[in-house]
Structure 1
């Protein structure tokens, strides 16, 4: 279950960092770096989750989540901040719901 908690923590961190809004996100290199780093962690952690778990929990878009890092971080100096913002605002909330529900399910089963 700790992997789910780690993913939830990264998502929560990102939500906290972008809370000031889009203008502040685009102005602040610090916020951008923090968001991008947490997206990297989500992507890497997702890739490392055991195959059996990924296969058993097939309703979670594992491949898409793992690919987040690859899409965003194709070049450390070529990150498209518009893509990052859209992922954070449109894609991340969907993934957070999956992760939250699965984390609760695992907690209740233990």
Structure 2
């Protein structure tokens, strides 16, 4: 349970950081800024790794969340790094991450649960 909580926090933190990194920019500015791309891709890797760390029991308790697709974010960022589709990454940022955040927010541990 503790590891699941830590993984959920990692996912949430990474989504919030990606949102901060991309706040106020559009796709054109994103595709021209390698630092932002690197930062976002790193956070997508963390989201994917954290998802893979979630216990099978936890994932099966929340079947409406597309865990396999989320874990695949890591694979996109790692295995396609040299030729990553920035349009696809931008769509993930603009739609999928916000949806994921709404899924996991109610599952995040409270401060008492995390201590």
TM superposition score category, shorter chain reference: 0.7 to 0.9
Pairing 1:1-110 to 2, within 5 Å after superposition: 1-22=5-26, 23-103=28-108, 106-107=109-110, 110=113
Q: Which runs of 5+ in 1 are unaligned?
A: none
TM-score by length of structure 1 reads: 0.87
Give RMSD over aligned pairs. Answer: 1.9
Instruction: Work out the number of aligned pairs and report it.
Output: 108
2:7 and 2:53 in contact (8 A); partners too: no
Give me the whole-angstrom Cα distance separating, in 2, the residues matched to 1:109 and 1:29. Answer: 39
Q: Which runs of 5+ in 2 are unaligned?
A: none
Give me the whole-angstrom Cα distance separating, in 1, the residues matched to 2:112 and 2:20. Answer: 30
